[in-house]
Amino acid sequence: MSDFDAVILGAGHNGLAAAVHLASKGWKIAVVEAKSSAGGAVKTQELIEPGFRHDLAAMNLSMFAGSAFHHLYAGELAAHGLRFIRATRCFASVFPDGSHLGIGTNAAENTAAIAALSPKDAERFAAMSNEFGSIAPHLFSLLGAPMPSTQSAKTVWRAWRAGSMPLLTDLLRLLLSSPRGFLDRHFRDEKLKAMIAAWGLHLDLPPDAAGGALFSYLETMTNQAFGMVIGAGGADVIIKAMTGLLRAKGGELFLNSPVASVDIVNGRARTVTLADGRKLTAKRAVISNIHPKLLFNGMVPQSTLPRRFVEGLTTYRAGPGAMMIHLTLDDLPDWSASPSLKSYAYVHIAPTLAMMTRVYGEAVSGLLPREPVLVVGQPTALDPSRAPEGKHVLWIQVRVLPAEIRGDAAGEIEATDWASVKDAYAERVLSIIETQAPGLRTRIRGRAVWSPLDLQTENPNLIGGDSLSGSHHLDQNFLFRPVAGFSRYKSPIDGLYMCGAATWPGAGTGAGSGFMLAKMLAG
């Protein structure tokens, strides 16, 4: 039996952030990981051909680059190889009429492009951009505070002091608004609205979901202000740097080490038993970066839990699933709307709010969407090191999809199991892209298609292919994530804590929950 101050279950980036910070405070740390490599949903591999590196799931590292964790450890992480590449052309949407609209770091260019659609909207967008500087500190402070906490209360107080009641009510309205409600209040042009609203379905927030406006607003404003960030060589650069830093601080990482149980002694989590029989003692804390539904369905006996907590977990909903399509290419897509689109990090194919609403409704009803929302990532446009010279990779995320298929909204695909469906559905996706980038198929060297269930197999935390570890609708966010009364990372078991995307502040690469929990534990 080995003794540690804390044993951390799962080597995703939140677990590693907690491990690094606690090790920095002198804690003896063990991180146990079931897979052969660390990273969770942040992994980069040569899936198809040697020399072509694909981000399996997460590609955008802007949240990590801007995180409080990175701010504190930037120098040490850089010493362990962390490098970012900044996109100055961040994201764009393409439309059926052959036009496009994008956001980059040149605010004047952004405003001019919007003005070509609507001069009034351009004025409103410029005003919104100017106001972002005064709003952002309060929003980021709230998102970087445990929920609830004295820190979050102080954030509200500071917002009131800074702008009195008008600023406070504006912030509250933003937090509660749907994307459509927010966008209709500010803009008139439908293309501009669609470009901004597309970010909502990176989570599970269709145009009419209350609380969905915040993410779309923040992504638009922060991309313009700071650019989008990806990892040099692959998203896994943050994982390599974090594990290197952890080891340098004396922490231990156990790979290929699935957890059999968290052992409770006199009401407290005391040891972690691995599948091979090894036992790790946790003198101060066991920290789980595993989805709570997995943690409390076998690893921890439900008989040790209060009924209210069990009921809360039972009703905790997954978001819709996603599909990943990875391509190796002889050249980037030849976007018909503009040659400039080859230089954008993301191209969204989500042309209207009505289309996004329809896609979401079809997916949650168990149907394969007739026309899914597509996020086409072009990492080699920014980082040529991810492919051999002159070649490229394409990162396609298909949002949103059902985990269990009941039918096809287009009436074309008869099978209802993902193993049989995924290649046919990938062909539908490629056909949709070719309406905007003719000839894409002629540039494809190879492909790898990951269905929602393939994603779950690769990472069991992605239940049903839900890359978010739970819906972000208001009833599962803020104070309610993952269960009301347990949003401050402590489970009902003494000494057992939770972090990860299923806890506040939710999904993304910001390392927020792991870092906030570690700060609370370390004092």
DSSP string for residues in 201-222: GGTT--TT-TT-HHHHHHHHHH
Phi, psi for residue 221 in degrees, rounded to 5: -70, -40
Buried b (16+ CB within 10 A) or exposed e, 214-249: bbbbbbbbbbbeebbbbbebbbbbbbbbbbbbbeeb
- Pick from 311, 320, 521, 515: which is nearest to 402 by CA? 320
Q: What is the pLDDT of residue 159?
A: 83
Total residues belonging to the chain = 523
Q: CA 450 → CA 315, 421, 456, distances in Å?
A: 27, 11, 10
DSSP state, residue 490: B
Q: What tens-digit pLDDT sequence spans the chain (523 residues)? A: 689 999 999 999 999 999 999 999 999 999 999 999 999 999 999 999 999 999 999 999 999 999 999 999 999 999 999 999 999 999 999 999 999 999 999 999 999 999 999 999 999 999 999 999 999 999 999 999 999 999 999 988 888 888 767 888 999 999 999 999 999 999 999 999 999 999 999 999 999 999 999 999 999 999 999 999 999 999 999 999 999 999 999 999 999 999 999 999 999 999 999 999 999 999 999 999 999 999 999 899 888 899 999 999 999 999 999 999 999 999 999 999 999 999 999 999 999 999 999 999 999 999 999 999 999 999 999 999 999 999 999 999 999 999 999 999 999 999 999 999 999 999 999 999 999 999 999 999 999 999 999 999 999 999 999 999 999 999 999 999 999 999 999 999 999 999 999 999 999 999 999 999 999 999 8
Q: Computed over its alpha carbons, how large is the radius of gyration of the chain?
A: 22
Secondary structure of residue 326 in the 3-state scheme: strand
Q: 375: which 2 tokens?
A: 């996020």
Angle at 173 between CA 168 and CA 179, to 5 degrees: 145
Residue type at position 249? K
Confirm whether pTM is higher than 0.95.
Answer: yes
Q: What is the pLDDT of residue 1?
A: 67
In the block, tokens 């002091």 appear at 161
Residue ranges and CATH numbers for the domains of the chain are 2-84+234-316+471-522 (3.50.50.60)
Q: What is the pLDDT of residue 230?
A: 98
In the block, tokens 């923040």 appear at 218
Edge-to-edge strands, sheet with 321-329: 100-104, 89-94, 346-349, 373-377, 392-401, 321-329, 444-450
Q: Is 389 exposed, middle or buried (0-12, 13-18, 19+ CB in 10 A)?
A: exposed
Q: What is the pLDDT of residue 165?
A: 78
Q: 501: which 2 tokens?
A: 């995307």
Q: What is the pLDDT of residue 408?
A: 98
DSSP state, residue 417: S
Specify whether the CB–CB gap between 320 and 399 falls below 8 A. yes
Angle at 498 between CA 32 and CA 3, to 5 degrees: 40
The alpha carbon dihedral of 508, 510, 511, 515 has a sign of negative
Q: 17: which 2 tokens?
A: 């952030």
Q: Is 407 exposed, middle or buried (0-12, 13-18, 19+ CB in 10 A)?
A: middle
Residue type at position 457? T
Say how many C-beta atoms besides its own lie within 10 A of residue 212's C-beta: 28
